[in-house]
Amino acid sequence: MFPKYQTTATTMRKTLTLATALASTIRLAAQQPATMITETTNGANIRTEVSEVKRITFADTTYNLNKNGYRILEANDLCWPDDRLLPLFLPPTTSLKSLDMSAASLSGEERVMFCTLQGLINRTSPRILLYNHNEEPRTTWPSAHSLRTAVIPTSKPYTLVKLFKDEVKGLVLYSNTQSEHYSNLAATIAGLDRLLPVTKEIRAKLVANGMDFPVVEDLTALKMSSALDIYTYLYDNYWHRCSHRLLVSIRPTIPYVHDISAACGAACVWLDPRKSDERQLLDKMLQDLTPGRDIVLGWYPEERSGVGEATKYGLSTVPADFFENTTVYAAVNKPVRINPVPKRPRLENKVYATVYISDGDNIQYCQHAMAKIFEQSGRGKMAMNWTISPALADISPMMLNHYYRKATALDCFVSGPSGLGYAMPYDAHNSRYYASATSSKLVKPYAQLTQRYLEKAGLRVITVWDNLSPVQSKVYADNCPYLYGLTVNDWERQSGRLTGRVQSKWLPITPLYPCYANSADVVTDFFNRDIKKFKGTSPMFVTGQVTVWDVGPDKLIALKDKLDALSPGNVNIVRADHWFSYYNEARHLPFDITLLQDMEITSSPTKTSAKYAADGSPSEEYMWVSQAAEGTGWVQMDFKDTFQVSRYVIRHAEAAGLAPQLNSRDFTIEASLDGDTWTTIGTHTANTAPVTDTSITPVEARYVRVTVTHGGIDGHVRIGDIEVYGAH
């Protein structure tokens, strides 16, 4: 992405071109609407509709070079597409320098300095890996990302700074004597100007190790002592220079996410929305972020007031205050390898139960505690739903792949609250809506962002905290077609139980009852309030949630026998995607009939397997590919029963992370009652989109066939996944 020059000069001017091309003068052979696709060296494809391009400019650029001759990037040099939560970083170097900061016994202020250094260096090219919060085995995530490291001796940690001293301009000198919030102020300035935030004690250690950096910013003369005054100073003097794509909310001296804040030039604050003056200052910052694009990363002094305040502005919070090495793991930019979804048996007059495990919205939990809990022996013995953050699709896609690789057919991943990042439309504990109950203005961009990341991460269910108004429910239904269902929390803080509902005649919204239970016995007690009424004449559905801190797989597995004892032979504990499929079928609502165990699938000759065309995974490993490179192919599904088919979805090559040019261009979808007489229900030509999602007037059918007449640019037809929605 960035040129290398064999020179020892610290700065140079490189003239790329003096031409400016207007989009109106560009001739494009592609059919309209034309799409310009920029492929970067880290494998990303940036799509831009030509009609949206005003000007393409190549101009003189002045920049600094490091000792290896590579351009040193400043925060505003990063490539940060609007459809990504974080910038596109170059891939990690062959061998990263690693330091165990815990073993090196570094102070909190030293760790902030080292994490800031990591962000400054990794901004140009990821070369530093730091260990801080070692709950999981230290090799877990470097191994999952296929990284090699060269260890810095913990007895000489400042050797790491010396290795990269030429890429540091100087120091921000501060003291936490009057207030710990100076640490966040110093770290913010450091990220903007390629400086290291240091106290006088840390500076003395740098000098003792042969590094006498100049003090560029000296904050020690400042007399402010309150969080409000310090962050007001930050806002007045530096906020206009900070990135408004990301706000980091982090307790001062906690080091973990300072690498990404420094790399992005983001502000670091710790403001308490429960205090009106601090809330007003936080609001001024939140107002400058864009709903549906930007996020808050970190945490707050108090959960509900903090998450709720961001929600008021259409923003979500990705809990991450102990998440390590974001600038390394985000740089391993690989597609998420989504597992195939097991087929389900026919619906019976049984009790269908499903249970969710909490806290997966918190990416530090995904990185640390979940890595241990997921290894418990009870996992894989009963269907369990693991909440996980769809934000990992950008922040650490290989972390998602790690869990997918280890998952059994009984492990189902679902989104934590309330989609892409933690948002709280309604706070049941305080009986208030943070997002307007009657307007879709700010919920809509959040739902659209959520849809994109649900699909990238392969998550079909969202656990919403705490509830949704009718308007908010409709926003999810209108903008999140990838969903199978939503859950809301019944904290028993209202009169009577919450009841389930169906939004827009297809999206089920069901209460978790209980929610955040602390034992299998509690779940059993709540479920029995319904199961004791089961007559066996129609299906019954129960669903609940446990807190992972009290109920891991080894304890949750006891639920299987406990529920069977309530109604022997009548209770089926199932995955969440199956549960919602059964739920919709029982209510004669559309559901994805490709999940049915009875479905038979055939195809034209394939290099892979016919079943891959409709297995619930669009990933390359499970993709249907035509055997011949003739640009044609077909797939046919026999559902063994007739359904009112009302929607079909086809995921093409790009949905698996492959080049957009490999998407199928021309194809038809047909339906039949007998397999002989066919009716065309969809015709698509000149397709460039990664996903085709089409609703139709319901048609009765037993068979559905997809026929491609113009495949990818290499002549092969690729089908990532097919979904067909029908109802009895």
- pLDDT of 83 over the 80 cut: yes
């560029």: which residue's tokens? Answer: 216
Q: Is the CATH number 2.40.10.10 carried by domain 592-727? A: no
């679902």: which residue's tokens? Answer: 414
pLDDT tens sequence across 507-534: 999 999 999 999 999 999 999 999 999 9
What pTM did the predictor assign?
0.92
- pLDDT of 103 over the 80 cut: yes
Per the structure block, which two tokens stand in for 475? 């926003």
Q: How far apart are CA 585 and CA 578, in angstroms?
A: 10
- pLDDT of 240 over the 80 cut: yes
* DSSP H helical ranges for 40-138: 108-124
Average pLDDT of the segment spanning 563-580: 98
Q: Lowest-pLDDT range, 11-25, 311-325, 710-724?
A: 11-25
Structural element, H or E, at residue 694: strand 691-710
pLDDT tens sequence across 245-286: 999 999 998 999 999 999 999 999 999 999 999 999 999 999
Residue scoring higher pLDDT (715 or 135): 715
- CA 666 from chain centre, in angstroms, equals 31
Q: How far apart are CA 632 and CA 301, in angstroms?
A: 58
Give every CB contact of residue 137 below 8 A, 6+ residues apart in sequence.
Answer: none
Cα angle for residues 218, 219, 224 (degrees, 5° grid): 160
* pLDDT for the residue numbered 25: 30
Give every CB contact of residue 677 below 8 A, 6+ residues apart in sequence.
Answer: none
Where are any strands of DSSP class E within 615-665? Answer: 624-625, 633-651
- pLDDT of 140 over the 50 cut: yes
- pLDDT of 723 over the 60 cut: yes
- pLDDT of 58 over the 60 cut: no
Give every CB contact of residue 670 below 8 A, 6+ residues apart in sequence.
Answer: 678, 679, 680, 681, 704, 705, 707
Amino acid sitting at position 634: W
pLDDT tens sequence across 392-424: 999 999 999 999 999 999 999 999 999 999 999
Residue scoring higher pLDDT (243 or 24): 243
Confirm if 489 and 443 have CB atoms less than 8 A apart: no
Confirm if 491 and 545 have CB atoms less than 8 A apart: no
* pLDDT for the residue numbered 21: 30
Nearest residue to 679 via CA among 697, 664, 652, 663: 697
pLDDT class of 11 with cuts at 50, 70, 90: very low
- pLDDT of 26 over the 80 cut: no
3-state secondary structure of 247: strand
pLDDT tens sequence across 300-359: 999 999 999 999 999 999 999 999 999 999 999 999 999 999 999 999 999 999 999 999
How much of the chain exceeds pLDDT 90, in percent? Answer: 89
Structural element, H or E, at residue 285: helix 276-286
Per the structure block, which two tokens stand in for 600? 């038979």
Q: What does the longest C-alpha to C-alpha distance in the chain come to?
A: 85
Confirm if 488 and 466 have CB atoms less than 8 A apart: yes
3-state secondary structure of 637: strand
* pLDDT for the residue numbered 66: 81
Q: How far apart are CA 349 and CA 527, in angstroms?
A: 17
Confirm if 404 and 338 have CB atoms less than 8 A apart: yes
Confirm if 388 and 416 have CB atoms less than 8 A apart: yes
pLDDT tens sequence across 195-208: 999 999 999 999 99
Half-sphere exposure (Cβ direction) of 140: Cα atoms closer than 13 Å: 24
CA dihedral 687, 689, 691, 696 (to 10 degrees): -50
pLDDT tens sequence across 584-611: 999 999 999 999 999 999 999 999 999 9
Confirm if 595 and 697 have CB atoms less than 8 A apart: no
Q: How far apart are CA 464 and CA 482, in angstroms?
A: 16
* pLDDT for the residue numbered 67: 78
Nearest residue to 308 via CA among 432, 150, 197: 432
Confirm if 213 and 206 have CB atoms less than 8 A apart: yes
What is the total residue count of the chain? 728
Nearest residue to 352 via CA among 262, 193, 485, 236: 485
* pLDDT for the residue numbered 36: 65
Amino acid sitting at position 358: S
How much of the chain exceeds pLDDT 70, in percent? Answer: 92
Cα angle for residues 446, 447, 450 (degrees, 5° grid): 90
Confirm if 373 and 548 have CB atoms less than 8 A apart: yes
> What are the distances in angstroms from CA 291 to CA 87, 483, 645?
17, 21, 35
Domain-by-domain residue ranges, the chain? 11-73, 96-329, 351-589, 592-727
Nearest residue to 473 via CA among 507, 500, 442: 507
* pLDDT for the residue numbered 48: 72
pLDDT, averaged across the chain: 93
Half-sphere exposure (Cβ direction) of 185: Cα atoms closer than 13 Å: 28
Q: Which CATH number is associated with domain 351-589?
A: 3.20.20.490
* pLDDT for the residue numbered 134: 73
- pLDDT of 297 over the 90 cut: yes
3-state secondary structure of 188: helix
